[in-house]
A and B are shown apart, each in its own frame.
Chain A
Amino acid sequence: MTMLKIENLQASVADKPILKGLSLTINPGEIHAIMGPNGAGKSTTGYVLGGRPGYEVTGGSVEFMGQDLLQLEPHERAAAGLFLGFQYPVEIPGVSFVQFLREAANAQRKGRGEEPLSGGEFLKLAKEKARLLKMDMDMLKRPVNVGFSGGEKKRAEMVQMGILDPKLAILDETDSGLDIDALRICGEGINSIMRAPDKAVLLITHYQRLLDYVKPDFVHVLAGGRIVKSGGPELALQLEEEGYEAVA
């Protein structure tokens, strides 16, 4: 079964058409990268797939592991196995990571008819994933993203992904804001969490550097709200050399 099948997707934000016929198919076990100029609609694609209010689908279809993704509420998409790594993770004062992630993980489990994790089981899982991403567990006791540096926020996104263990991760510029060591740690984290025959990743990025660690099977160029060119890993290198205007 295909993991994700996007066909001729059209979407508007504030009545402004942003996605204009985007098609993309992702199979289990694959890693795809989307690159493209600023304002091309990359984050919009992630938000539309995540079900963000205000992002109106005006045409096309999205199938996620056999289900009509667009019919699902955002939390149902998460329970179905979708994870969205935010380009700009949101700060939520007064709500701690551990509190919200435990509730989120258990809400997902409930949606799938699984038993909830006990407090102890959850903490053990959280500690393991924090260690994998070399993040101090104490940071997860703090309010969600509040006062985190740009890089810490991105690393916390990956810890969340590890805890929630999705089938498909859409990672929007996870590499931006990361220092050199953090980039390697996050890259290895993505591989360790998501490299599996029944999982897939859609990386949104501007640079080759993350792709050095997380090697994509396919690279796509998104411009003007649609995929204008697709290729193998060499396409990313070519883009970095020559720029979008020359290549796409």
Chain B
Amino acid sequence: MNVELTLPTRKDEDFRYSDLDALATVWPVVREDIEVIAGLEESRQVIELGEGAVARHLDVRLGKGAKLDLRVLTAGPGYGRIAIDVRLEEGADFTLGAAQLATGKETLEIVTKVTHAGLNATSSQIVRTVLAGNATGTYLGCIAVERGADGTDAEQSVRAMLLDRTATANAKPELEIFADDVKAAHGCAVGELDANGLFYLMSRGLPPADAKRLMLQAFIAEAFAGAPGEEALDEAAMARLAKLVGTAL
């Protein structure tokens, strides 16, 4: 079986921001295989809204010209880890739209390794993190382009929004490129809600929490735009956002 039995330590790069005590309660993590065979298209959702600890590890293989649209929403767990390994053959296309919302002492993380193994494969990752209280949110994303995988187009857009100065965001996009003709764009930003925008909304009569919720809804929606089931994802995220803006200081 595809299971790693030894509990990782902080020395493992992929686990350096993890809540290892919480991870121990759900270890070992059984890998979930997702294979999309050549020429087919699929969409999947990973939605974790429950409390407690959760760790998942997806092993995605995309055949020639295969497509996967994967959306992830983690909003609720005290510890939530979603690890995604993706291997793309020639002409395959991988889309990840992920949002993680945390407050209190919650720790959420998304760890991806996207390997472009064939020619002209494309991948796009959009990750949006909203953190209140003393929460920690992490994105570790490695893009590996193997020898000969020319024509690769890999994109990462990673943004985190801190509602309180006491929250922590970690973001680390990484590139390992062994091919020549490669387009890899990554944007990475940690910020706070635009104070001018907030005042504008409040001056029209929106209470502060609602003004924040509206702006955060827009922020999160970028991760789910165009997804099958977009509305349900938006709604699930919104319920959690209401809680976050309520608990923000």
Identify the A interface with B (CB < 8 A).
50-54, 73-75, 77-79, 84, 86, 89-95, 99-101, 103-105, 107-108, 111, 143-144, 160, 164
Contact = CB atoms under 8 A, between A and B. Distances in A.
Given A73-B207, A107-B205, A144-B200, 16 more contacts: A50-B199, A53-B199, A78-B203, A78-B205, A79-B205, A89-B200, A91-B197, A93-B218, A95-B218, A100-B204, A100-B214, A101-B204, A103-B206, A103-B210, A111-B205, A143-B218
Contacts of B207: 73, 75, 107
A92 B201 CA distance: 9
A74 B218 contact: no
Given A53-B199, A94-B219, A94-B222, A75 B205 contact: yes
Contacts of A143: 218
A128 B125 CA distance: 42
A164 B204 contact: yes
Contacts of B205: 75, 78-79, 104-105, 107-108, 111, 164
Nearest to B201: A100
Given A50-B203, A100-B204, A94 B218 contact: yes
B215 interface: yes
Instruction: Determine the main DSSP class of B at the interface with A.
Output: helix
B198 to A, nearest CB: 8
Interface string B3-45: 0000000000000000000000000000000000000000000
B210 A92 contact: no
B171 interface: no
B203 A84 contact: yes
A75 B200 contact: no
Interface size class of B (residues with CB under 8 A): 20 to 34
A96 B3 CA distance: 47
Contact of B196 (A90, A93, A95, A104): A90
A107 B205 CA distance: 6
A143 B64 CA distance: 39
Contacts of B201: 92, 95, 100, 104
22 contacts: A50-B203, A51-B202, A73-B202, A74-B203, A75-B203, A75-B211, A78-B202, A86-B203, A89-B200, A90-B196, A91-B197, A92-B215, A94-B217, A94-B219, A94-B221, A100-B206, A103-B214, A104-B201, A104-B204, A104-B206, A107-B207, A108-B205
A75 B208 CA distance: 8
Contacts of A103: 206, 210, 214
A111 B202 CA distance: 13
Contacts, number: 81
Contacts of B249: none
B195 interface: yes
A90 B204 contact: no
A92 B206 CA distance: 14
Contact of A92 (B195, B208, B218, B222): B218
B214 A74 contact: no
B99 to A, nearest CB: 13
A74 B199 contact: yes
Interface string B187-199: 0000000111101
Contacts of A164: 204-205
A195 B126 CA distance: 50
B179 to A, nearest CB: 35
B216 to A, nearest CB: 10
A78 to B, nearest CB: 4
Q: Which of B199, B204, B210 has the most CB of A within 10 A?
A: B204
Contacts of A100: 201, 204, 206, 214
